[in-house]
């Protein structure tokens, strides 16, 4: 049994102007110790996906269908009480902005001890001992001193380490990190990413990394999925997606990176921008921006096609695969 299995997840937002689907047909599995990257631009639904795994969506958002199986138990159908025993305990979450995550009026130590004692029946001293040990694990210098400090006394990188330490407090099975380094500088980002990799590997923790940065995904994760307008459009091993992207959107995203162009020359841009959820076009959501658009793309939703180790939702890829297969049959017949 996979550690986490998401089947046909659908998330909707009931807005005054009508219902919109924020996520549709989300299917993936996560094994113990696996690292999965979720890539997409703003509005693709990647953060909503992160939130819905822990059933953290607040109104008007709700899970409209599908299941989220964590060790075979459906998180989407759990009571608030049952969920509390999983959130922060078995699955923890790291958010983008550590200043918003940490409580400004409690010391680091108080927040860590509070979290520990909410989940386990242990004494104050034991909780403090575990907290200090976790602070050491994330390389916080002089943890005893930091334990009694407030978040505002620490730098951005240090705060994010604290958040990671809190995420690790209960030795979770899964960490969901939503843009954990976006607010940080590149040297700090590199340090934090190294740290998360090391900790996940050492403790055999599965990681779901939500980011818009293809560079980070390529360095940290083994599996990746690319999202566009609430759907997965390509998923598979990270290396395959980075080196040989199949979906025109993934290709466009890769080619738009400055390092993919000759310095001083124009960048390869994707025209247009991602549609808002209320105005997702019929057929393939990417069709108005796609340079290979065909008639069928405008009317029919693409099914997933296997290509190497990846699954790609694109009519063009499907057509090419069919032609390839036909050509092969002809060859074999000859």
From the list 76, 94, 66, the residue with the least C-alpha distance to 8 is: 66
Is there binding between residue 222 and another protein (CB under 8 A)? no
Contacting range for another protein; rule: CB under 8 A; set: 16-24, 70-78, 253-261, 296-304: 253-261
* Overall residue count recorded for the chain in this entry: 334
Is there binding between residue 76 and another protein (CB under 8 A)? no
Q: Which is nearer to another protein, 135 or 253 (CB)?
A: 253
Q: Which is nearer to another protein, 100 or 333 (CB)?
A: 100
Contacting range for another protein; rule: CB under 8 A; set: 7-15, 22-30, 101-109, 206-214: 206-214
State which of residues 7, 25, 65, 156 lies at the interface with another protein (CB under 8 A). 156
State which of residues 90, 117, 128, 212 lies at the interface with another protein (CB under 8 A). 212
Contacting range for another protein; rule: CB under 8 A; set: 73-81, 142-150, 153-161, 302-310: 153-161
Is there binding between residue 185 and another protein (CB under 8 A)? yes
To another protein, the closest distance from the beta carbon of 27 in angstroms equals: 25
Is there binding between residue 189 and another protein (CB under 8 A)? yes
Contacting range for another protein; rule: CB under 8 A; set: 23-31, 117-125, 246-254, 316-324: 246-254
Q: Which is nearer to another protein, 121 or 271 (CB)?
A: 271
Is there binding between residue 195 and another protein (CB under 8 A)? no
CA distance 313 to 303: 5
Is there binding between residue 303 and another protein (CB under 8 A)? no
To another protein, the closest distance from the beta carbon of 255 in angstroms equals: 8
| Residues 258 to 297 in contact with another protein, rule: CB under 8 A | 258-259, 261, 263-264, 266-271, 273-274
Residues that bind another protein (CB under 8 A): 41-42, 155-158, 185-191, 193-194, 212-216, 218-219, 239, 242-243, 252-254, 256-259, 261, 263-264, 266-271, 273-274
């Amino acid at each position: 049994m996979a550690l986490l299995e998401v089947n046909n997840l659908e998330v909707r937002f009931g807005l005054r102007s009508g219902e919109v689907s924020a996520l549709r047909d989300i299917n993936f599995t996560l094994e113990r110790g696996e690292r999965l990257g979720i890539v997409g631009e703003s509005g693709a639904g990647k953060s909503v996906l992160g939130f819905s795994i822990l059933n953290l969506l607040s109104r008007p958002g709700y899970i409209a269908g599908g299941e989220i199986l964590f060790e075979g138990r459906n998180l989407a159908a759990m009571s608030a009480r049952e969920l509390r025993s999983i959130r922060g305990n078995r699955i923890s979450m790291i958010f983008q902005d550590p200043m918003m995550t940490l409580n400004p009026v409690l010391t680091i130590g108080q927040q860590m001890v509070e979290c520990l004692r909410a989940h386990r029946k242990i004494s104050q001293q034991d909780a403090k001992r575990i907290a200090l040990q976790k602070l050491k694990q994330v390389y916080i210098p002089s943890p005893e001193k930091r334990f009694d400090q407030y978040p505002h006394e620490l730098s951005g990188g240090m705060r994010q380490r604290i958040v990671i330490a809190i995420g690790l407090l209960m030795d979770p099975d899964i960490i969901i990190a939503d843009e954990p380094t976006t607010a940080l500088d590149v040297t700090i980002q590199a340090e934090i990413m190294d740290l998360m990799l090391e900790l996940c590997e050492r403790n055999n923790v599965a990681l779901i990394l939500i980011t818009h940065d293809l560079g980070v995904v390529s360095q940290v994760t083994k599996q990746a999925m690319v999202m566009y307008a609430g759907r997965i459009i390509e998923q598979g091993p990270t290396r395959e997606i980075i080196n040989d992207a199949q979906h025109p959107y993934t290709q466009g995203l890769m080619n738009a990176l400055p390092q993919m162009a000759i310095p001083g020359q124009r960048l390869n841009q994707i025209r247009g921008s991602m549609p808002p959820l209320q105005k997702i076009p019929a057929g393939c959501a990417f069709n108005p921006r796609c340079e290979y658009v065909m008639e069928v793309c405008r009317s029919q939703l693409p099914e997933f096609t296997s290509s190497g180790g990846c699954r790609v939702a694109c009519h063009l890829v499907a057509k090419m695969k069919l032609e390839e297969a036909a050509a092969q049959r002809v060859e074999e017949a000859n």
